[in-house]
Amino acid sequence: MRCSSLNCYRLVVNTVERLKILTRLRNFSVEEVLKMRCIVVGLGGRGKHWVHVCQEMDIVSLVAGVDPVPERREEAKERFGLKDEQLFASLEEALKAVEADFVLDVTPPSAREKIAETALSHKLHVLAEKAMGEDWSMAKRIAAMVKSSGLTYMVAQNYRFGALPRTTRRLLDEGFLGVINTVVVGFHRPWGMGAHYVEIPYALLIEMAVHHFDTLRYVLNRDAVRVWAHTWNAPWGWHKGDVGHTVVFEFQDGIMVTHHALGCSVGKADHWQGEWRIEGEKGSLTWENGKLVYGRSLPEETVKELPLDPLPLVDTKAVLAEFVSAIKENREPECSAQDNLKTLAMVFGAIESAKRKQWVELAELFGQ
C-alpha cells in the first residue's frame, strides 16, 4: 500500500527516534544500529578472509565467529580482536548468545545443508560459500528450503564480480563481437594442496570450475543446455579424485564452450579467472593473465588491449554489497539459491557425463 506523505514522514520520524533510543540504551552509534549483524561460521583460511572483509565493510557488523577447532577461535581472537564472548564452537551456541541478521557460511560443502537449516529456522538470511552442497540432491534440497522460507540465500560466486567479466559482459551485450559462437577456457594450476579438496572426488569441478561455469553464464548471459565431459588424474597428482578434465557445453543459441583444466599442473600457472577466448563474427576477445584483449585477423590484423570498466567494489566485497542490498531492497540477489542451481547443474551434469561417458541434457537433472 502506498503511504501518504504524512505517513511516510511519521515512519521516518519513528524510525529515527527508535534508533536514538537504541543508541542511548546500548551505547551504539546510529551507523552501527543500521548495520546488518553477521555470524561467520568457519574460521579456516577462507573464513579468515571473510572476517577481514566484514570488518572492512561499513554495511555489516560482525557479532560472532564459529568454529569447532579451538585453535582457530584463538587465532581469530588474536588476529581480528574478537572477544571470548563472540567466539563459539557451534552455530547453535552462537544463536543462543547473540542477535544476528544473517549467517555467512564458510564451511565445507558437506556441512552446507545443516548450516542452512539452522540459520533459516531462526529466520536468518544466508550468504554461503560455494558450492551450495556436496552433491546435486543436497543443492536442490537447500534451494527448496530457501524458497519455502522466504528468506535471502546467496552463493558467493565472487569471480563474476570482477572488472574482467563485468566489462566483457557489457561488450557482448552491446554487440561488440556480433554473433558469438565458440568459447574456450583453460585453467592449469598446482591447486588445492593441503586443503579438503585433496580428499573429495571431482574436486576441481566442484570447488574451482564452478567459478568459471558461473562466470560463463554471467558473461554469455545464457544458460547451458547439455554437457559432455571426460576426467582424469595426472600420474604425479596429489588429489584422490580426478582434477583433470575436458568439458564441452552447448549453451542457448548454439554457443559451444570448452573448458579444459588440470588442477595438479606444475607448469606455467594460468590466471585464477582462467585464460579465455570468445570467438564472434567481428573478431575475438581473450583474457590474457587478467587483461582483456581484442583481436581480429580479417579483413586486416588488429590486436589491442581494452580498458576495464572501473567498479566501486569487486570480488567478495562486491558479493557482500550485493547480498545486503538485495535484502534491503527486498529483491532476489545475483547468485541466489534458485539461480545457482543452474550453475551447479553444469557441475554435476559434467560429473554425470564423465561417469556415463555420454552427453547429458541438463534438463534431466531438474527432473530428478
Q: Which amino acid is at 178?
A: G
Residue 42 Cα distances to 39, 52, 72, 291, angstroms: 10, 13, 9, 33
Give residue 24's pLDDT.
41
Q: Write down the domain spans for the chain.
A: 5-158, 159-310+337-367
More confident residue, 5 or 359: 359
Q: What is the mean pLDDT of residues 211-238?
A: 97
Angle at 60 between CA 58 and CA 66, to 5 degrees: 135
Q: Give the model's pLDDT for residue 224.
A: 98
**84-109 residues labelled b (16+ CB within 10 A) or e (exposed):** eebbbeebeebbeeeebbbbbbbbbb
Q: Which helix H or strand E contains 197, and what residues bound it?
A: none
User: What is the C-alpha separation between 276 and 219, in angstroms, rounded?
Assistant: 11
How many whole angstroms separate alpha carbon 334 and alpha carbon 326? 9
Bridge partners, residue 155, by sequence: 128
Identify the DSSP state of 208: I
The set of cell numbers assigned to 69 is 577447532
Q: Position 194: which residue type?
A: G
In one-letter notation, the amino acid at residue 361 is E
Joined together, the cell numbers standing for residue 99 give 542477535
Topology given in CATH for the domain delimited by 159-310+337-367: Dihydrodipicolinate Reductase; domain 2 (3.30.360)
Q: What percentage of residues in the chain have a pLDDT greater than 90?
A: 87
For residue 330 the three cell numbers come to: 527486498
Mean pLDDT of 57-82: 96
Query: What pLDDT digit, counting tens, does each position of 50-66 carry?
Result: 999 999 999 999 999 99
Q: What is the pLDDT of residues 7-41, one digit of tens each?
A: 333 333 343 344 343 334 444 444 444 799 999 99
What pLDDT is attached to residue 19?
Answer: 39
- In this structure, what C-alpha cell is assigned to residue 283? 573478431
Stated pTM of the model: 0.88
Q: What pairing do the DSSP bridges indicate for beta strands 291-296 and 283-288?
A: antiparallel
Edge to edge, the sheet with strand 256-262 lists 302-306, 291-296, 283-288, 275-280, 180-188, 256-262, 244-251, 224-232, 360-361
Q: pLDDT tens across 152-207, in order?
A: 999 999 999 999 999 999 999 999 999 999 999 999 999 988 777 788 899 999 99
Q: Fold for 5-158, please state it.
A: Rossmann fold (3.40.50)
